[in-house]
Amino acid sequence: MSFKQLLQTIHAGVNANSALFSSLALSVVFSGGVGASSTETANSNNTTATTSSSVCPDWLNENLRRLHSTEDVNLCKAFAGKPLLIVNTASHCGFTYQFSDLETLHQRYKDKGLTVIGFASNDFRQEAGSEAKVASICYENYGVTFTMISPTSVKGTNAHPVFKKLAAQTQAPSWNFTKFLVSSDGTQITRFDSSTAPDSPQMISAIEALL
C-alpha cells in the first residue's frame, strides 16, 4: 500500500468513527433530555399532589354521598384550598327559607372560591320523610345548586366525623341551619347560629375576610 493509500484509509476511518461518535453523543443527549423532562414532570406532579394534600386537613378527607344520588364527593379532592360554608339543613323548619339566602351566597362568591355545602339532617326531627322529597324541596322549591349531602347525623355520638370536628373546635349544632365557616386550610372555624342570616353583615364580613 502506498503512503497516499494509507492516508486515505486512516482518513476514512476517522470520518466513520466521527459519525459514530456523533450518533452516540446525540443519542445520549437525547435520552438524557427525555429522562430529565420525565423526572421533572414526575417531580412536578408529586409536588402538586403534596400541595393539594397539605392544604386540606385530614378531617375533611371524607367521601360523602350527594343528596338523592349514588355519586360520592370527596371534600378534599373537590374543594381543597377553598374556604367552606358547612350548614346542617332541614326541609320543614322555620329557617328553611335560608336555602334561598345560601344559594345567593353561592352564586355571589363561588367564582371567588367559597364553597357552600349543605348536610341534610333529621337530628331535630324536621326533615322530610324521604330523601326524594328532601331533594325536591332543595332543588325545586328553592333552586339550590350548591353541594348537598345525603341525610347525615350532625350531633351527639352518632355525628359524622366532620361535625364532630366542628363541634370540638366550636360547638355542635343546636338547631337546623347552624353555619360553620371554615378557612381554606381548615385551621380557622367560625360558628354562626340558626338565627344569623347567611346575608347578614357579620357573615359577609367573615366570608370576605377568607377570600
Mean pLDDT of all residues in 29-55: 45
Three-class DSSP labels, 51-80:
HHHHCCCHHHCCEEEECCCCCEEEHHHHHC
pTM for the full model?
0.75
Tell me which residue of 94, 133, 139 sits closest to 118, measured CA to CA.
Answer: 139
What residues contact residue 173 under an 8 Å CB cut-off, 6+ apart? 88, 121, 123, 154, 155, 163, 167
d(C-alpha 72, C-alpha 87), whole Å: 18
3-state secondary structure of 18: helix
Question: pLDDT digit string (tens) for 166-192?
Answer: 999 999 999 999 999 999 999 999 999
Catalytic site positions: 93
Q: Which of 49-53, 61-65, 163-167 has the lowest mean pLDDT?
A: 49-53
Query: Count of CB atoms within 10 A of residue 210's CB?
Result: 19
Q: With contact defined as beta carbons under 8 Å apart, do 119 and 146 qualify? A: no
Can you give the pLDDT at residue 55?
A: 78
Residue type, 89: T
Can you give the pLDDT at residue 26?
A: 39
